[in-house]
Structure 1
Amino acid sequence: MQNRKGGTMQISGGKFVVTGGASLIGSHVADILLAEGAAEVVLLDNFSLGTPETVAHLAGDDRVKLLKGDILRINQLYDAFKGARGVFAIAGFLTLPLSQNPPLGLAVNVEGQVNVFEACRYAGVQKVIFSSSIAAYGEPEGDAVIDESFPANLAGYQPGSMLYSCTKLIGEALCKLYSQKHGVDAIALRYATVYGERQHYRGVNALYIIQNYDKIVRGEPPVLPGDGSEVHDYIHVADVARANVMAMASDVTGEVFNVVTGVETTVKRIAEIVLDVTGSDLQPVYADDASAVKATSSPSLKLSRAKIKASIGWEPQVSVEDGIRRLIDWRKQQPA
């Protein structure tokens, strides 16, 4: 485990920048930074995917600065990063938008991340926390427990998913390179399927929860792919945000961590929870959407969270049942 030269970082009293700040994860990272006493939180977003509404609840806090900016424009990063202790590199294209617009998606996920690290080096930022994905592993083989030492197995992936995975591996390599060569501490966090309050409609797997909730509210049955046995590791956004801030505060650098629950949940179980929370007696329908962009889908997905617990003490706190209840409570409060 590589430890950073400066030891642990104080969140309280510091300035932090969140690229992709008006996003699901970015907004929750901001919540925790503010709760821990950060002096200034800059939410940098170009609003192509994120929206100001996502962070509307922070509008009254004078420590928060919502800044329109793009990680492809490095000059905007130089200004935003000035005086910052740390940067949360969350901005990026997910599989779906990347497969729809490869030139822009690849530019943002690769060139954009290079810009983030270069601007951090220039501005003297101490540490970067990079949002990676378990997509970096590719298709799991057999039912072995997947830890951070596992090699990438991308051969069976759809092209859009493969491109996305490669961009995350590049981001992780940048973390290690800038940590070793330029003294910019960095940690990459590999998220499982992130869901929760302020959910958008772009995540390939997390989208499934909110789409089926919307169907049930309209009186339509939830639709399950295959026989409903496909599993994912669903991680609540509050746990993901906590992992980001704990990683920032830690003295660790140059490492990759799984941010996962370690719990396999079938899509059938997700539908059952949504039906239960909504008090619906509708029965699920089994049907495949041939046009759907799919990420990892398998009957087994055993992800290890041992390394992050041992290194920075993080463990998930929100069960999938509680998390879906929280998501649906939030969704009910939203305008139609």
Structure 2
Amino acid sequence: MKIAQGKFVVTGGASLIGSHVAEQLLSQGAREVVLLDNYALGSPDTVRSLLGDARVKLVRGDILRINELYDAFEGCDGVFAIAGFLTLPLSQNPSLGLAVNVEGQVNIFEACRYRNVKKVVFSSSIAVYGDPAPGLVDESAPAQLATFQPATALYACTKLIGENLCRLYSAKHGIQGIALRYSTVYGERQHYRGVNALYIMENYDRIMRGEPPVIPDDGSEVHDYVHVADVARANVMAMASDITAESFTVASGVATDLNRVVALLLKFTGSDLKPVYKSAPSSVRSSVTKQLDFSIAKAEKMLGWKPEVSIEEGIRRLLEWRKAQDTPAS
């Protein structure tokens, strides 16, 4: 599918990922970009910088109200299905979270069928792998959810359902569907809802208050942090491809432990504070492991995508953005 001169709808458009996907679409010549969001978790402020472009239309709408999708999808070429509950908000409101992540995704595909939309790119998650066995993890790995906390397991199951909706509607109705399994997404316009990205934001806030950063356990827990700009590129490349009914891991391919994350925060803030090691047993956590190795070979081979932003560069950019937000306008 050609991006240039196309009309695209981004559900969850006033979000971290949605706003960056919109930027990518605009840079590649999209005719119209509709940002659909109910503002329950996002905010119009997130996309304020985009609203000066006449091609951008911000629409208040909810994926649980299918009539609003019918309206937004009219004349649409492709949909980025980004709207959804992450693990933390789902744990706080499981009834609504499950409805949005399951019924909402069904509504998106039904509205696409009604409006003859050609393609959906669905935002999935590496949570679908569960706690993977040691070694390289690729898209063929089975879901190992038995050791997950309940909320995390529920979240992972909703993403597996979304991926299979892509396959079902591709086979049954000819709507192309691709699922992108994100690792920990972070970057400019960062929010406070992602379980693992919270380590970055909360510790930054502590440092700026003059409080020592806090690291759980011994800090050897690792995550794969992928910058939102790389995630946005993957979304647009997936939309532009002729591929359907496939899932792709979108990650950096680099495991970064919490000690390293905090060391970078201290470096870029110029702080000499010493971290404190302590755990909060009641906190919501996803996979807790000291070894993680996600393969991104499939995305590179089939989509031509690979990450470009290192964890060092990504955190530096995030903190520069955050500093600008905290600086009063003169």
Alignment TM-score, normalising by the size of structure 1: 0.97
Aligned with residue 302 of structure 1, among 284, 290, 293: 293
Give distance in 2, aligned partners of 1:159 and 1:290: 14
1:173 lines up with 2:196 in the alignment: no
Give distance in 1, aligned partners of 2:198 and 2:242: 35
Give distance in 2, aligned partners of 1:281 and 1:119: 54
Write the deviation string for residues 43-83 of structure 1: whole angstroms up to 9, x where unpaired: 00000001000001012111000000000000000010011
Alignment of 1:49-198 (within 5 A): 49-141=41-133, 143-198=134-189
1:275 lines up with 2:282 in the alignment: no
Report the equivalent of 2:13: 21
Give distance in 1, aligned partners of 2:50 and 2:308: 24
Cα deviation for residue 144 of structure 1 reads 1.3
Give distance in 2, aligned partners of 1:335 and 1:228: 28
Q: Which runs of 5+ in 2 are unaligned?
A: none
Give distance in 1, aligned partners of 2:285 and 2:81: 24
Aligned with residue 317 of structure 1, among 296, 308, 313: 308
Amino acid across the alignment from 2:152: S
Write the deviation string for residues 228-250 of structure 1: whole angstroms up to 9, x where unpaired: 00000000000000000000001
Aligned with residue 215 of structure 1, among 198, 206, 216: 206
Write the deviation string for residues 96-147 of structure 1: whole angstroms up to 9, x where unpaired: 1111111100000000000000000110100000000000011122x21100
Report the equivalent of 1:330: 321
Give distance in 2, aligned partners of 1:20 and 1:335: 25
Amino acid across the alignment from 1:43: L
Q: Point out 4+ residue stretches in structure 1 off by more than 6 angstroms.
A: none
Cα deviation for residue 207 of structure 1 reads 1.4
Cα deviation for residue 297 of structure 1 reads 1.2
Give distance in 2, aligned partners of 1:152 and 1:59: 40
Q: How many residues align?
A: 327
SS at structure 2 position matched to 1:334:
helix
Over the aligned positions, Cα root-mean-square deviation in angstroms equals: 0.7
SS at structure 2 position matched to 1:290:
coil
Q: What percentage of residue pairs aligned between the two structures are identical?
A: 68
Report the equivalent of 1:6: none
Report the equivalent of 2:219: 228
Cα deviation for residue 272 of structure 1 reads 0.5
Give distance in 2, aligned partners of 1:291 and 1:57: 38
1:200 lines up with 2:191 in the alignment: yes
Give distance in 2, aligned partners of 1:79 and 1:100: 31
1:266 lines up with 2:225 in the alignment: no
Give distance in 2, aligned partners of 1:140 and 1:328: 31
Give distance in 2, aligned partners of 1:60 and 1:147: 41
Alignment TM-score, normalising by the size of structure 2: 0.98
Cα deviation for residue 257 of structure 1 reads 0.1
Give distance in 2, aligned partners of 1:331 and 1:211: 12
Q: Which runs of 5+ in 1 are unaligned?
A: 1-8
Cα deviation for residue 335 of structure 1 reads 3.5
Report the equivalent of 1:3: none
Report the equivalent of 1:249: 240
Give distance in 2, aligned partners of 1:97 and 1:273: 27
Write the deviation string for residues 260-285 of structure 1: whole angstroms up to 9, x where unpaired: 11101000000001101111111111
Amino acid across the alignment from 1:98: L
SS at structure 1 position matched to 2:325:
coil
Amino acid across the alignment from 1:26: G
Cα deviation for residue 42 of structure 1 reads 0.2
Report the equivalent of 1:4: none
Amino acid across the alignment from 2:116: G
Report the equivalent of 1:237: 228
Cα deviation for residue 28 of structure 1 reads 0.2
1:44 lines up with 2:36 in the alignment: yes
Give distance in 2, aligned partners of 1:55 and 1:326: 18
SS at structure 1 position matched to 2:316:
helix
Amino acid across the alignment from 2:47: V
